[in-house]
Amino acid sequence: MSSETKQILTTDGIPLEVSLKKAEKKNKIKAFLLVAPLLLFLIITYVFPIGEMFSRSIDDKMITNMLPKTFKEMEKWDGQELPPEEVFTAFYYDFKVLVDKQEHGKLGQRLNKEKNGFNSITKKLFRQVKRKKIDESTSIKEQIMKVHKRWRNVEYWQAIKRTAPPYTMSKYLKGMDMYYAADGSITQVEEDRRIHRILWLRTLEIAFFVTLFCFLMGYPIAHLLATLPMKYSNLLMICVLLPFWTSLLVRTASWMILLQQQGVVNDFFVLIGLVADDNRPEMMYNKVGTYVAMTQILLPFMVLPLYSVMKTISPSLMRAGKSLGGTPFVAFWKVYFPLTIPGIGAGCLLVFILAIGYYITPALVGGASGTLISNQIAFHMKQTLDWSFASAMGLMLLSGVLIIYWIYNKLVGVDNIKLG
């Protein structure tokens, strides 16, 4: 049937369908070429480095490269009893290479993390090798076992075998306060050393409550801004926008001044007789400071999406609700509130995402009990220089944020974000 229909041709004699497709393809390429510079730039400088964080976080190639012969021989060893002569011999030759390169110290330190006591026995072995005390013509196994009694302990050889894979999930386990036990099973650290789990929970708790406070404070004022006549609301809008545009550090600094023990807030409490002058409460360097400062700093991010949704709700809807016999409360709850839910979703998700990764404000006003997971990441990047652990923690945080971002995208759509 279709073959009998005469194809529509353009003036060049090409079928219209083909010509149209060609034009569309050209437009597609044109649009893509406009996006390409930024996309490429971001992929090279941003997306790849985040991927590199992943490979860094699971990387454990150091020992794999240090003891190649040993691990090759160990493949044949069942790991139950002391390894055979070949493993000892291979280990001895690997170790000799490391001694020549002066890298035996690194090996000892790394193995010590796997099992305590490795550092001293590698040093002992190093001295023997250095003084050429080990006779390569007879059994090397016997000689190594004589260096220290721990070399006769099968647990130490099992620990070496565990470091064979070039990749490890141990950093991620550490981030959740777990580790690989001697038999390779996943174990929890002792109760009083579970610091990371406390931090994760605290981060979630603070992000949740900051979001809640922002919602409770932001909803009334967004409503007021949306219902007041333009000339008043524009003036009040400045109260929301000025903090929004002001430097984060300036706002944190002002909270540090307000909340200190001799600060204005405490002065006010003393003045109204809430607290005694000699018993001023500590409001900074703890959770209170983090809550107060973060709520004020993130409040505009709640108000602006709420406002833009409320602005579109016609006031006649509330009047209709009331005229149909609803009290103002019923009219609000049944008519107005459901219409603002998209704004609530957008605002809450935005504030939660921002709060969960907050770093500067908690670091300055949070003290020890008000710091978040970001502060821990920064600590490992700068102080302990355990970059692979910082990467692992960062990616754990990132995966949480990406899940929320995905929900946000489904509910609100990233292209619906409004600014100012």
Residues 35-54 close enough to bind other proteins by CB under 8 A: 35-39, 41-50, 52-53
Task: Report the alpha-carbon angle 110-112-116, nearest 5.
Answer: 165
Could you tell me the CA-to-CA distances from 271 to 93, 107, 263, 268 in Å, in that order? Answer: 78, 64, 12, 5
Residue 70: burial class (beta carbons within 10 Å; 0-12, 13-18, 19+): buried
1 binds other proteins (CB under 8 A): no
User: Among the candidate windows 33-41, 113-121, 134-142, 308-316, which touches other proteins by CB under 8 A?
Assistant: 33-41
Of the pair 111, 214, the CB lying nearest other proteins is at 214
Cβ–Cβ < 8 Å for 196, 189: no
The single residue among 101, 130, 319, 418 that binds other proteins, judged by CB under 8 A, is 418
Residues 56-115 close enough to bind other proteins by CB under 8 A: 56
345 binds other proteins (CB under 8 A): no
125 binds other proteins (CB under 8 A): no
385 binds other proteins (CB under 8 A): no
- Rounded to whole angstroms, the Cα distance separating 321 from 129 reads 91
Burial string for 94-130 (b: 16+ CB within 10 Å, else e) reads bbeebbeeeebeebbebbbebbeebbebbeebbebbe
Residues 262-321 close enough to bind other proteins by CB under 8 A: 262-264, 267, 296, 299-300
Of the pair 160, 372, the CB lying nearest other proteins is at 372
260 binds other proteins (CB under 8 A): yes
165 binds other proteins (CB under 8 A): no
Of the pair 147, 353, the CB lying nearest other proteins is at 353
- Is 122 in a helix, a strand, or coil? helix
Q: Tell me the closest approach of the beta carbon of residue 349 to other proteins, in angstroms.
A: 10
One-letter amino acid at 297 equals I
The single residue among 106, 150, 251, 280 that binds other proteins, judged by CB under 8 A, is 251
Q: Is the dihedral of CA 297, 299, 305, 307 positive or negative?
A: negative
The single residue among 8, 238, 276, 385 that binds other proteins, judged by CB under 8 A, is 238
378 binds other proteins (CB under 8 A): yes
Residue 387: burial class (beta carbons within 10 Å; 0-12, 13-18, 19+): middle
Applying CB under 8 A, the site for other proteins has a residue count of: 91
